[in-house]
Amino acid sequence: MTENTPDRARTRFPGISSRAYEHPADRSALVALRSLSGFDVVLRKLSGLINERALRLMFLGGTVRVGESQFRNLNDMVRDACYILDMPEVPDVFVKQDPTPNAMALGSDHPFIVINTGLIDLLDDEELRFVVGHEVGHILSGHAVYQTMMQILLQLGSRLAWLPLGNIGIAAIIIGLREWFRKAELSADRAGLLAGQDLDAAKRTEMKLAGGTRLSEMSSEAFLQQAREYDAAGDVRDGLLKFLNLLPQSHPFAVIRFAEIDRWAREGEYQRILAGDYPRRDDDGSASVSEEIRNAARSYRESWERTADPFVGKVRDMADAAAGAAGGLFDRFTRRDNGPTDRTN
């Protein structure tokens, strides 16, 4: 890959693993899936046969492919993001005429990026660089591959909906998958920050996605306060309504993404990565599934402790009580099986 020199100095991360920026809940799922022997190869072949060729041909025929002669500035951004995140293959990028401000990463064997004109028109260069890094992060993490796998599993599962309680089971799977996808978006936001290394641009992007181009009418401090107000809003009923509103969403709400990227940058992990302290891709095979699951559980617990949402507080209390009861029951059965634990020799 030819090195692309950015218009200002940015730190490069040789050999960086996607584990460096993945949200703990996203990372634990990905590590578990990657650990299944042969699963990744089968999945890539399956998703490639089903979707990738048709999708690529569709975008090749109906959009503009980015390159040296078309959307050159965007082409430079993609090459720069791949260089900084040390991704060996630069993905194709297609610009689609669509006023909806959106971008996506698709495919498996050779993933590619699609960026709508509405997003290009909405953002300045540094904000667009953040979005490009976001999509490159999706590819580096393999989100497109695993999301394709989950869609296939959902289609297979829907055929079992006629079974007793089948719809309830499928609905539970969908809820779990959407929670994972929302955490994957937080992961990709972190990758976007690493690629662009401009926190203000990342924040402006979230603000524009919420309120449009008129930044002079908006304030990052007020938007962060809005995020805090959303977190703490109302009583238990409002917390339940927020939970229900979020369930069908593929992305977290803009204020949540704004607050999360701000917190991640402030709490030190971003600076450690910039300083060169990050996991390497060569060590991905030795990543512990159980450790990552514990990290995910700790992350959820910490987010519960940070939030002022009264609904989450009630859920946390019930979860703690259930965990305590389960632990006591486990200890009781353990003592019964092993005999008295206070016996002296």
pLDDT in tens, 225-242: 999 888 876 666 776 777
pLDDT at 175: 65
Q: How far is CA 188 from CA 23, 137, 201, 275, 335, in A?
A: 9, 5, 15, 20, 46
Q: Are the C-beta atoms of residues 260 and 189 closer than 8 Å to each other?
A: yes
Tokens of 278: 């990050």
Q: Any idea of the CA torsion for 129, 131, 136, 139, to the nearest 10 degrees?
A: -170
Q: Are the C-beta atoms of residues 82 and 66 closer than 8 Å to each other?
A: no
Q: Which of 247, 248, 244 is nearest to 236 (CA)?
A: 244
pLDDT at 333: 43
Q: Are the C-beta atoms of residues 97 and 115 closer than 8 Å to each other?
A: no
Q: Which of 160, 86, 73 is nearest to 123 (CA)?
A: 73
Q: What is the pLDDT of residues 3-60, one digit of tens each?
A: 444 456 899 999 999 989 988 767 666 665 555 545 555 555 555 555 677 788 999 9
pLDDT at 141: 87
Q: Between the ranges 34-48, 101-115, 134-148, 322-336, where is the mean pLDDT highest? A: 101-115
Contacts of residue 289, Cβ cutoff 8 Å, sequence gap at least 6: 28, 31, 32, 35
Question: Tokens 């689609």 correspond to what residue?
Answer: 96
Alpha-carbon dihedral sign for residues 195, 199, 201, 206: positive
pLDDT at 158: 59
pLDDT at 177: 66
**What average pLDDT score do residues 202-220 get?**
96
> How far is the C-alpha of 147 from the C-alpha of 37, rounded, in Å?
19
Amino acid at position 89, single letter: E
- 24: exposed, middle or buried (C-beta count within 10 Å: 0-12, 13-18, 19+)? buried
> How far is the C-alpha of 309 from the C-alpha of 325, rounded, in Å?
24
Residue 258 has pLDDT above 70, yes or no: yes
**What average pLDDT score do residues 157-177 get?**
57
Q: Are the C-beta atoms of residues 120 and 74 closer than 8 Å to each other?
A: yes
Residue 85's SS3 state is: coil
> How far is the C-alpha of 99 from the C-alpha of 101, rounded, in Å?
6
Containing 93, the helix (H) or strand (E) segment is: strand 93-96
- Please count the residues of the chain: 345
Q: Which position has the higher pLDDT, 46 or 258?
A: 258
Q: Which of 50, 39, 64 is nearest to 107 (CA)?
A: 50
Q: Are the C-beta atoms of residues 107 and 52 closer than 8 Å to each other?
A: yes
Tokens of 108: 């498996």
Amino acid at position 195, single letter: A
- The residues that bridge with 105 in the sheet, in sequence order, are 113
Residue 93 has pLDDT above 90, yes or no: yes
Q: Which position has the higher pLDDT, 51 or 129?
A: 129
Q: Which of 124, 29, 106 is nearest to 63 (CA)?
A: 106
Phi, psi of 127 (to 5 degrees): -70, -40
